[in-house]
């Protein structure tokens, strides 16, 4: 089960951080919200699908804030890239595409905000573009993860890492190693969850990859524009 694999995951598994921000203006409400979130963690450890879905919703809200609020001055000075380099070396193999899917842990139909890429445990994970690390840490769903702002509009998130090698506020170059792949969080095995957000909203990462990047699944080859190339018919569909 995922929870056992999480507990036994190789790498630096740090304690998860809360998704609910503390408000000085509303301290009692903040404490109650945090208590409720910690209670959810107990239900997650018991493998309650509803609690897992609730946690993922909270994490989505957390990353919406993290990818739209520029706290580091470097973010404002970093130009927004037009294209991304791949986060892994070699051909990217997609095991779960962007969009609707049945979640492998909860069994519920939900939106997949990124793409899952084949990556053996300990594979170097690289920044897709120049940017500033705005968050790094552990979430129950994403596991060990890193969020990078690439200017004021685009951000990338790298999930399920076994090791994080960057700090918040660090300026990162395109192709620079930020950590190692793993199977932390809601994960059934080692891989990389690669996510792109534009103004906080998830977008298909494949649509922003450079044309030279080759991406394929078990039976299809994706172009950098997010189209699907059917190898048998040699046409775009």
List of domains in the chain: 2-236 (2.70.70.10)
Strand-strand pairing, 92-96 and 114-118: antiparallel
Annotate 165-202 with b (16+ C-beta within 10 A) or e (fewer). Answer: bbeeebbbeeeeebbbbbbbbbbeebbbbbbbbeebeb
Cα angle value 6/141/20 (rounded, 5°)? 125
Q: Tens place of pLDDT for every residue, the chain, 237 residues?
A: 344 444 444 455 566 777 777 777 777 887 887 788 777 777 777 778 888 888 889 899 999 999 988 666 777 778 888 899 999 999 999 988 998 888 877 787 888 999 999 999 999 999 999 999 999 999 989 999 999 999 989 999 999 999 999 999 999 999 999 999 999 988 889 999 999 999 999 999 999 998 888 888 855 544 445 454 443 322 222
Residues in a beta bridge with 194 = 115, 158
Separation between Cα atoms, residue 172 and residue 133, nearest integer Å: 7
What confidence score (pLDDT) does residue 51 get? 86
Q: Are 114 and 158 in contact (CB under 8 A)?
A: no
Axis crossing angle, helix 49-66 with helix 27-45, rounded to the nearest 10: 130
Residues in a beta bridge with 31 = none
Separation between Cα atoms, residue 177 and residue 36, nearest integer Å: 36
Separation between Cα atoms, residue 81 and residue 106, nearest integer Å: 35
Handedness of CA 187, 174, 201, 37 (dihedral sign): positive
Separation between Cα atoms, residue 1 and residue 183, nearest integer Å: 12
The dihedral formed by the CA atoms of 197, 94, 140 and 42, expressed in degrees to the nearest 10: 130
Q: Are 41 and 18 in contact (CB under 8 A)?
A: no
């Amino acid at each position: 089960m995922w929870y056992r694999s999480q507990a036994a995951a190789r790498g630096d598994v740090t304690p998860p951080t809360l998704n609910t921000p503390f408000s000085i203006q509303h301290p009692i409400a903040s404490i109650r919200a945090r208590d409720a979130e910690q209670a959810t963690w107990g239900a997650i450890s018991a493998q309650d699908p509803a609690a897992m879905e609730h946690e993922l919703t909270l994490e989505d809200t957390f990353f919406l804030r993290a990818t739209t609020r520029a706290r580091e001055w470097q973010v404002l000075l970093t130009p927004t890239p037009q294209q991304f380099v791949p986060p892994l070396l070699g051909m990217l193999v997609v095991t779960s595409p962007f969009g609707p899917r049945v979640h492998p842990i909860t069994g519920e139909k939900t939106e997949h905000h990124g793409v899952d890429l084949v990556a053996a445990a300990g594979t170097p994970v690289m920044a897709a573009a120049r940017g500033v690390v705005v968050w790094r840490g552990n979430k129950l769903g994403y596991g060990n993860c890193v969020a990078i702002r690439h200017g004021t509009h685009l951000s990338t998130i790298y999930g399920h890492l076994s090791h994080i090698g960057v700090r918040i506020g660090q300026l990162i170059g395109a192709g620079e190693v930020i950590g190692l792949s793993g199977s932390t969080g809601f994960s059934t095995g080692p891989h990389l969850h690669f996510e792109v957000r534009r103004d906080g909203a998830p977008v298909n990462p494949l649509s922003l990859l450079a044309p030279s990047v080759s991406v394929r699944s078990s039976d299809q080859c994706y172009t950098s524009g997010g189209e699907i190339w059917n190898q048998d018919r040699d046409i775009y569909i």
